[in-house]
Chain A
Amino acid sequence: MNSGREVIDGRLTVEGFSVAARAFADKWKTHNQSLPPWSWVPLINRTLLLSNQQEEGYLSLENILILSSLEESTEDESLNVATECSEKEEPVDHTILNQENEAHYYDFHIVYSASYKVPVLYFRGYCSGGQPLSLDVIKKDLPSCSVSLLLQSKWTFITQEEHPYLNRPWFKLHPCGTEDWIKLLSQSSISAGCQMPVELYLVSWFSVVGQVVGLRIPLEMLN
């Protein structure tokens, strides 16, 4: 009997997602302090309906300032991400502002898909004036290796769709196939005779998905 806290076939129940989300946000806060924490947005704030069965919601990370470098470093393919109010951090020497010479901000939401039973990453970019960035511009901000990954992979392609709750166009990483590569990630735990604990689901998921949009997570988070 699935209590909802198990990962079955690489997929999550909505209860499992809530548990995994909080565990992910906690670990992120502990191990990934160079970035702001994820916040949990209950659906009750975003829809007219009140779900009294479980607290449903999504994870949100917003106003991330992306500085992209024109010179690619082969060692570090992740984006040079700065927090918005980073009085303590200096920009790294080899980074310069992106080609438009303006700051690009990004919002990331991790939303549960009831259809596919997996998390889905939604994101959007905008200038400091709030004007949305097109996918072409966004692709220039992404690490170059992930752009080619996107172009080649059937598992990670970006589409522009409406945010499930906010009535605005966002970009989304298509979820079809998620459960397949999650199962691959779980292989080692399955052969050791145990299931992937639901608390680690989003951490594992994000270790792959985050790289596509240039957000890396420290290895400590996977413990």
Chain B
Amino acid sequence: MANEAVKYVWEGAIPLQIHLHKSDVASHPAPPPALVLAPRIGYLPLLIPHIKPYFKDSLPPGEDSIWFDYKGVPLKWYIPTGVLFDLLCAEPERPWNLTIHFRGYPSNILIPCEGEDFVKWNFVNSLKEAQYIINGNCKNVMNMSQSDQEDLWTSVMNGDLDAYTKLSPKLKMATIEDDFSRKASLSSPQSRQGATEMDVAGQVKTARVPVRLYVRSINQDFENLEDVPEIDTWDDISYLNRPFEFLREEGKCFTLRNAIESLLPEFIGDKAQTSGEERSKDDDTEEADGLLREMGEIKLARIQGIEMKLEIPFSWVVNNLMNPEFYLHISVLVKAPQR
């Protein structure tokens, strides 16, 4: 049932160059960095078994409490690796240089991660929340057998799309009908069971879509992405974990722009524009300039590493670019409205 786009998403990976933090280096010379290919839909702690062998002989005595940082910003391990990359590197850095620490876990900032179970718990928890949003309850996830849940998680850990595709129908997640793009595959009828607010034809009428929006707001305009300043802390980013809700109307196509604007009302409607588009003829008047200065502007929206054209039908985006826990993660770069 998996179509080509989903395959690309599952195969997506980020080359990482992992440096051991100097305070953890107890050997001379310091070990060279480790090179690892990190699945976009995976999580950093899952890479530890691949990374640790490079550094274990260099570590000071003591117990490991492992965490990563990018340019001094501790990385939130429960965010999929691909999302972290899209969000923190305005200009994509290849390989992505990260620092690994084996001591001194910043537990006042990061929630603990003491092994694969923590990552798995986070995944299942997000899956339940997504199911609750889509179906109105999370009983399918709760009722899944232990071994099925285990197998589903393993398929995600291993990037095994075939195994995942065999198991995910057991979740019976309602789907959004994708009317506006060529169907490469058929939605299986059984996936519509258990959904609420459906009409007779089995299409979801009032849809709620799990979305996690990561918004970086900058004050200055910029020419190139490499001019975008780096973030210093997570307080530079606004995180919105709220579903996109829409009423399906006949013939109405919700675009990615519609979705983002409804979640970010500041940038809404005919006042908002993306760079270069929709400029009116009166652009050069002072009044128009004043208006432009006041509005915010969506500069960039990235999903699975793709810089999205905002006019793409949202249903296609969701069905093809969501993560295995059924969340759509969107990294947005906005220019803040001037006050």
Which residues does A use to contact B, with CB under 8 Å? 47-53, 114-116, 132, 159-162, 164-165, 167-169, 176
Contacts and interface: CB of A to CB of B under 8 A. Distances in A.
B215 A52 contact: no
A168 B234 CA distance: 10
Interface of B: 76, 78, 107-112, 125, 128-129, 132-133, 138, 210, 215, 217, 233-243, 264-266, 336-337
Contacts of A168: 108-109
22 contacts: A47-B238, A48-B237, A49-B215, A49-B264, A114-B242, A114-B243, A115-B129, A115-B132, A115-B133, A115-B242, A115-B243, A132-B107, A132-B108, A161-B111, A165-B239, A167-B109, A167-B234, A167-B235, A168-B108, A169-B108, A169-B110, A176-B138
Given A167-B109, A167-B234, A176-B138, A48 B129 contact: no
A49 B111 contact: no
A51 B241 CA distance: 14
Given A115-B243, A132-B107, A169-B112, 18 more contacts: A48-B236, A48-B238, A49-B215, A49-B238, A49-B266, A51-B265, A114-B241, A114-B243, A115-B129, A115-B132, A160-B112, A162-B76, A167-B109, A167-B233, A167-B234, A168-B108, A169-B111, A176-B138
A162 B122 CA distance: 11
B266 A52 contact: yes
A97 B240 CA distance: 40
A59 to B, nearest CB: 18
B134 to A, nearest CB: 10
Nearest to B263: A49
A162 B112 CA distance: 10
Contact of A50 (B111, B112, B236, B266): B266
A167 B236 CA distance: 10
Nearest to A180: B137
Contacts of A52: 265-266
Contact of A169 (B107, B128, B235, B265): B107
Given A115-B132, A176-B138, A160 B111 contact: yes
B244 to A, nearest CB: 10
A115 B241 contact: yes
B332 to A, nearest CB: 10
A48 B76 contact: no
A164 B110 contact: no
A48 B234 contact: no
B207 to A, nearest CB: 14
Given A52-B265, A114-B242, A167-B234, A162 B111 contact: yes
Contacts of B107: 132, 169
A164 B76 CA distance: 13
